[in-house]
Structure 1
Amino acid sequence: MSTDQDSDRYRAPALDKGLDILELLAGVDGGLTQAEISKRLDRSPNQFYRMLDRLVKRGYVTRIDGDRFTLTLKLFGLGQLHAPIRRLASFSVPPMRELAEKTLQANQMTVFDRGYPVVVAQQEAPGYWGISIRVGSRVSLLDTGAGHVLLAFCNQSDRTMMLAENLGSASHESVTPELFERLDQIRNRGYEMMPSAQTAGVINLSAPVLSADGRALAALTIPYITLINTPGAPDMTKTIQLLLETVATLSELAGARVEE
């Protein structure tokens, strides 16, 4: 039996149809209607109705502008949780430990996954006091330093998809113009500094671990607390400087890994 015949023997038409849709949408900006998808794949529209419905319900595709379909970041998120992110978390351990020792503060690394920043690594403070978040925890995209950094350091299409995944069926009008202005400010200065919306007295200091093209692979955050009667504890200005030095090191390491 020839290779082509053997391949046809084990075909899965429904799976092929779903993959055809994903591959088509991956190469299109602005999404496509069901009719446009059918035309480009040279099949009748009713062949795709149920498949599109399932892809939307499983979170791989979303509707925009009422009748247009576009990819979400779910596939990207699944890829992020694969080996590259495990490597990122692994080689980040020594710099994160050194940062904790120099600042006397805890720190954690987050990546974007299916609508939310997710903690993939964390380093506890070396002293008695610090704010720790469990690895695997999901945090808010819209009112945390990590979320703001991940949104600030990405291109427009990625930001649109990230917001769509986070907000679901909610209108993007719920995202205020002030937030977009803040994201521009964060990108210009290179980090976010904001009071925690979850814990009183904590200032979130967040900065991006960047890829070679300037997009955030991850956000590194120090939940800064003022340490009283603690000799050698750096102030917030010095802590921000140490944070920026650490993400610069991590970005260089990430770039080196990408080139390999």
Structure 2
Amino acid sequence: MDESGKYRAPALDKGLDILELLAGAPTGMSQAEIAKSLGRTTNENYRMLDTLVRRHYVTRSPEGDRFMLSLKMLVLAQQHPPRRRLLDIAEPLMRALSLESEQSCHLALWEDGDIVIASAFSAPGNWRQSLRPGAVIGIYNTGSGRVLAAFQSKEARLRMLADHNLVIGEEQADTTGLNAELDALKVKGCAVEPSKTVRGTTNISFPVLDPSGNAIAALTCPFIERIDDYRAPNVEQVTEMFGKAAREIGRQINGE
């Protein structure tokens, strides 16, 4: 017990100190740099760093000499009540959006190396294309995955790409070319592009942003065009609807 009368957990304090330090070091830190910043010896930090790496809260650089914060904290945050709050906010808007646009829609999240469909609503009427909740999709070949990766810091994006588990049919892209595409997508603000997995579909994907401008989710429409006499909303109109909905979800999530 300390002087304030509160019980202390020194080992937990050391672990949290390391996590908080690495959260502000986008390029990672060496073991010596961590020790110097925290005023401890490398031996004091060794076991704690080893445990954090083993539990996947911290990752090593490819060379093995630097330590970086993983995305596991983000995954835990999404799995706990904040994720439920996201769905509580998003799902009524998604249901209304599906009816208004006459298209299917889904919400995708990053979960421990996977892009997972957290919620989905099918289009009304006879014609639809939709993904089921719980489906795992690619990061390289889907609008949702590309948007989630694009709207991150460069360091977080690199970790996402490194940690991603390829799905069936997905090919890993050249990092240099992909980063240029994702940078352009971020400037544009959304992805509106032909599907890279099926013909006849245009993926319309918008990020749901946190206060720092990073994507916590991707709201996506697998748009299919009617070519008969029925006049459904066109791709430009649907793009506007989805952009408005994604911004509204973000506004409510961030309490604006």
Q: TM-score range by the shorter chain?
A: 0.7 to 0.9
The SS at the match of 1:259 is coil
Pair 1:31-2:28 in alignment: yes
Distance 1:198 1:17, change over 3 A: same
In 2, Cα distance between the equivalents of 1:22 and 1:152? 24
In 2, Cα distance between the equivalents of 1:212 and 1:19? 23
- Does structure 1 retain, via aligned residues, the 8 Å contact 2:108–2:117? yes
In 1, Cα distance between the equivalents of 2:78 and 2:128? 28
Once the two structures are superposed, residues 210-242 of structure 1 have per-residue CA deviations (whole angstroms, 9 ceiling, x without a partner) of 3444332321111123445472333xxx23432
The alignment's C-alpha RMSD in Å is 2.9
In 2, Cα distance between the equivalents of 1:251 and 1:6? 43
- 2:239 paired residue number: 243
State TM-score, norm by structure 1: 0.80
Once the two structures are superposed, residues 100-121 of structure 1 have per-residue CA deviations (whole angstroms, 9 ceiling, x without a partner) of 2233221101122323322222
Aligned equivalent of 2:106, options 105, 108, 117? 108
Distance 1:257 1:192, change over 3 A: closer
Aligned equivalent of 1:60, options 43, 57, 60? 57
Gaps of 5+ in 2: 167-171
In 1, Cα distance between the equivalents of 2:111 and 2:85? 16
**How many Å apart are 1:141 and its aligned residue?**
1.5
Question: How many residue pairs align between the two structures?
Answer: 250
Aligned equivalent of 2:82, options 84, 89, 106? 84
**How many Å apart are 1:70 and its aligned residue?**
0.8
**How many Å apart are 1:22 and its aligned residue?**
1.3
Gaps of 5+ in 1: none
- 1:166 paired residue number: 164
- 1:20 paired residue number: 17
Pair 1:118-2:96 in alignment: no
- 1:233 paired residue number: 232
User: More helix by proportion, 1 or 2?
Assistant: 1
- 1:44 paired residue number: 41
State TM-score, norm by structure 2: 0.82
Which 4+ residue blocks in structure 1 deviate beyond 4 angstroms? 1-6
**How many Å apart are 1:53 and its aligned residue?**
2.8
In 2, Cα distance between the equivalents of 1:215 and 1:45? 33
In 1, Cα distance between the equivalents of 2:162 and 2:118? 22
Aligned equivalent of 2:73, options 66, 72, 75? 75
